A and B are shown apart, each in its own frame.
Chain A
Amino acid sequence: MSTSSKTLAPGVIAPAVQPSRWRRRAKGLALPVLIILLLEAVVRLGWIAAYQMPAPSEVAQTLLHLADGALWKHIGASLSRVLAGFAIGAALGLLFAAWVGLSREAEAWLEPTFASLRAIPSLAWVPLLLLWLGIGETSKVTLIAIGAFFPVYLNGVAAIRNIDRKLVEVGRMYGFSPLRLARRILLPAALPGVFTGLRSALSLSWMFLVAAELIAATRGLGYLLSDGRETSRPDLVLAAIIVLALLGKLSDGLLASLEQRWLTWRDTFDGTDTGV
């Protein structure tokens, strides 16, 4: 009896997928390209007034012009706010999620408070933050941190509480200490849920950044948005929106690739074989 003739090559399907990946990309690009071309034509033909909807080519020019000067300052300001707020909020979210998730005692003490705080729409904090912390960086970073905290906390607790009891029992069978149990079983098992939380927290961070910067800022992409509105320059507004979209996509892609790398072990449905 010999089973050694069997070979396993988990990555072997990848090359065959290569050509169809480009086709998938082309499919995804088709709609945006079509919309851009349509807009360009409609504006050039004068069907929409240029002061309301600038042609995409004009927006591109504004963007190029901005890239020569102030754009990087705005991007730098926004990016540092988002990173700081997200880091603080996510770190606290993870900490409390682990605490509440692992201890029923902590849950009894903390969960009702968090549940009621969560019920407050986060933007309602804005006036209070402005009163307490002024219009400087602190209030903006705090607002973003509040926004990032809850998705991470909620998904983290749910992820821990959804861990298969049967896997935990394997650890108990080996007499693992609580710390070792957390490191070897609970943490890796909770990782998929934690990533879901981190990604939605990141997108919320960008949302709260814009909210904070729209209200009071002298730099940043949100400032660019309100500046464009005040000076009646829709091209400026659109340019800022495009940069925000790119940054959001880029930062989410970074997390997504981390998720991809760390969670290759997941045996999940990927949308193929549905017959749809």
Chain B
Amino acid sequence: MNQPLRIAEPAPPVEPLLDLQVEGKAFGATQVLGQVQLQLQPGEIVSLLGPSGCGKSTLLRLVAQLDQDFTGVLHSRPEQIGFVFQEPRLMPWLSVAENIGFSQDQGYDRARVAGLIEEVGLDGFAAALPKALSGGMAQRVAIARGLYGQPQLLLLDEPFSAVDAFTRFKLQDLLLDLARRHRIALLVVTHDVDEALYLSDRVLVIGNRPGTVCRELRVKLDYPRDRRDERLARLRGEALEALHSARVI
């Protein structure tokens, strides 16, 4: 028989979508990130949870390659990555449609943009200028822009921290819906414990100065989830405990 040879080195089951090994990252004399191992499988939703200034946003910028000055290795990274910033960052002189297709100048794919506008629930606003939009609507446009390049991974940096609680719930559901429909992985930076647990398959609790992953929580609940689910409440306790023992709260 042709028995496969077992070698000591076990190969990972699937090639990870993202594999980032950070040894350290400093701004001047301040060490913001320590050792962090970040891996994402295709379609996986992962949150980085931690307080302001713990380096979670920096970690996201390393993945996006907006910052390449760190020690460590980016083993693999999907070709197409979308980014949704904390603020919508729409070009105020461009219409909603032009903003969504921003990466392709005037020759953007009209049909795809129209489809995205409908998906994020902004029908009829294609020609509107950003100044006519509310904060939540502007962030919907930003999400659509992030999806326009058909990324395998969408990075979100505290995307809903500037909108009210009800809008935030709606946008979280929209985001989960879009992630499933487009079969993309999400990496979400947040300081909202509930948001992290509601959205993610895995929550990485980031501790302070220098930032390292001090706890990994797996949320083994099916989507769509119920915000009142007791298991979420239990996980919430665990997350708070992890944050507490990391002397974050």
Contact = CB atoms under 8 A, between A and B. Distances in A.
B91 A167 contact: yes
Interface stretch (A196-204, A229-237, A262-270): A262-270
Nearest to B82: A173
B89 A8 contact: no
A166 B66 CA distance: 12
Contacts of A172: 66
Given A6-B124, A174-B102, A267-B131, A185 B66 contact: no
Nearest to B103: A174
B85 A3 contact: no
B83 A266 contact: no
Given A167-B91, A173-B83, A184-B105, A8 B123 contact: no
Instruction: Give the size category of B's interface with A.
Output: 20 to 34
B91 A3 contact: no
A1 B91 contact: no
Contact of A1 (B66, B121, B124): B121
Contact of B129 (A4, A174, A184, A265): A265
Contacts of A7: 124
Nearest to A7: B124
Contacts of A264: 129
Instruction: Give the size category of A's interface with B.
Output: 20 to 34
Interface string A180-205: 10001100110100000000000000
Interface of A: 1, 3-4, 6-8, 10, 166-167, 169-170, 172-174, 180, 184-185, 188-189, 191, 263-267
Interface of B: 64, 66, 83, 85, 87, 89, 91-94, 102-103, 105, 121-125, 128-132
In the A-B complex, the 6 residue pairs with the smallest Cβ-Cβ separation, listed nearest first, are A267-B131, A4-B123, A265-B93, A3-B121, A174-B103, A188-B93
